[in-house]
């Protein structure tokens, strides 16, 4: 049995190790979003914050959990609007690019074509704890006292390299804080929230976001994206072969006939990604399913092949008032966008997904945890590769 001074010493040591990891991260070279490097995929302009929160009403809350030298994880919450989502539901659809994952609530979303809770993102072995915590949080609301069924929606990626995932460190308090502190405006990116312990393309991954605003002649709609990037492949940035040039890519061992010495670098390109697409365009769940499927096109542009061991999910929803669904409505009378008006929305989503992945990578910081260290992608080297391929990034 440990005496009190020894227990105190262990707690202090764990706290100091966590602090050292944060200090090392803070001393790293400044990070930058994709557009700071001159990387601006597509043709449409971004919204004010170039984030999912450019879609009016959408809010994001994040809780980052860094404890001792083993816990590197967190929670990211996405709220579709300011009201009770159970009472005022938004149409939604989920596309499964590769189903190696745990996406709580997915079957009912696709069956009924709607969301009745916020969306949570976290680590693999914490999805059920997060789901239970959000259910408790919602059922405690004054207007939910008679509710006997609730379809909570929680996605995940596996951060078990940097995080002691088996300890299942996400708590109900962390989930409540993420939900209750959600706000509009700029979205934190990189090694935060559900992206605290993630890895992408062999570099530190994380949370990334982006948006596109369509011209008025195309409806003036806004499309916003948030990604939890934890996947692999052969990284390319607007077509430039960054992964190959930086000598870090999937199947590198087989191709180059060399021994993998980087520990966490995944030679198979495995991992996972959750992509959330929000829009104020009034879309039916059928067209949201079509929109969600386009998310894989944006993912493919970055170099992912949706490998066997990658859980690649895209959830899309519409915040438009004209397609909202009251939970007890006997009939739905909606005004929605026609098929012929979807093409620009598709284009906007593909471009925003691509940029969100770049933002997740470029904003992430070198992270140590659980006996491992994963480096942030070196932005100076990325700039060199872009210049060499004629993309002329900003200085």
Cα–Cα distance for residue pair 373/376, rounded to 1 Å: 10
Cα–Cα distance for residue pair 200/223, rounded to 1 Å: 24
Q: From residue 89, how far is each of 85, 228, 321, 329, 347 by CA, in Å?
A: 5, 24, 10, 11, 26
Q: From residue 224, how far is each of 196, 221, 352 by CA, in Å?
A: 21, 10, 7
Cα–Cα distance for residue pair 187/278, rounded to 1 Å: 14
Query: How are strands ordered across the β-sheet holding 71-79?
Result: 59-67, 71-79, 119-123, 153-157
Cα–Cα distance for residue pair 51/334, rounded to 1 Å: 27
Just list the catalytic residues. Answer: 272, 310, 312
Q: Are 301 and 350 in contact (CB under 8 A)?
A: yes
Burial status of residue 36 (CB atoms within 10 A of its CB: 0-12, 13-18, 19 or more): middle
Read off the tokens for 79. 């709220």
């Amino acid at each position: 049995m440990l005496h009190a001074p020894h227990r105190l010493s262990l707690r202090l040591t764990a706290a100091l190790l966590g602090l050292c990891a944060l200090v090392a991260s803070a001393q790293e070279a400044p990070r930058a979003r994709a557009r700071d490097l001159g990387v601006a995929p597509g043709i449409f302009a971004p919204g004010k914050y170039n984030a999912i929160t450019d879609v009016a009403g959408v809010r994001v809350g994040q809780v980052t959990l860094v404890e001792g030298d083993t816990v590197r994880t967190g929670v990211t919450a996405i709220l579709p609007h300011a009201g009770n989502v159970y009472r005022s539901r938004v149409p939604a659809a989920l596309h499964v690019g590769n189903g190696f994952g745990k996406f709580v609530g997915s079957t009912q979303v696709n069956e009924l074509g709607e969301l009745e809770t916020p969306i949570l993102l976290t680590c693999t072995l914490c999805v059920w704890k997060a789901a239970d915590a959000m259910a408790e949080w919602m059922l405690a609301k004054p207007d939910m006292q008679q509710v006997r069924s609730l379809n909570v929606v929680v996605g995940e990626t596996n951060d078990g390299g940097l995080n002691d995932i088996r300890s299942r460190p996400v708590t109900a308090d962390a989930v409540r804080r993420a939900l209750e502190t959600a706000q509009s405006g700029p979205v934190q990116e990189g090694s935060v929230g559900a992206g605290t312990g993630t890895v992408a393309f062999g570099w530190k991954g994380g949370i990334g976001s982006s948006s596109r605003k369509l011209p008025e002649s195309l409806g003036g709609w806004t499309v916003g994206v948030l990604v939890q990037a934890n996947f692999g492949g052969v990284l390319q940035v607007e077509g430039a072969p960054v992964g190959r040039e930086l000598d870090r890519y999937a199947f590198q061992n087989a191709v180059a006939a060399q021994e993998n010495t980087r520990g966490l670098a995944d030679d198979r390109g495995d991992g996972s990604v959750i992509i959330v697409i929000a829009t104020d365009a009034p879309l039916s769940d059928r067209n949201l399913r079509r929109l969600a499927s386009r998310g894989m096109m944006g993912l493919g542009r970055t170099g992912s092949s949706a490998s066997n061991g990658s859980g690649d999910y895209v959830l899309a929803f519409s915040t438009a008032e004209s397609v909202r669904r009251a939970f007890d409505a006997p009939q739905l009378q909606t005004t929605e966008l026609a098929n012929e008006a979807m093409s620009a929305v598709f284009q906007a989503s593909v471009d925003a997904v691509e940029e969100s992945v770049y933002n997740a990578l470029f904003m992430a910081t070198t992270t140590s945890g659980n006996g491992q260290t994963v480096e942030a992608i070196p932005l100076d080297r990325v700039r060199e590769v872009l210049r060499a391929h004629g993309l002329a990034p900003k200085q």
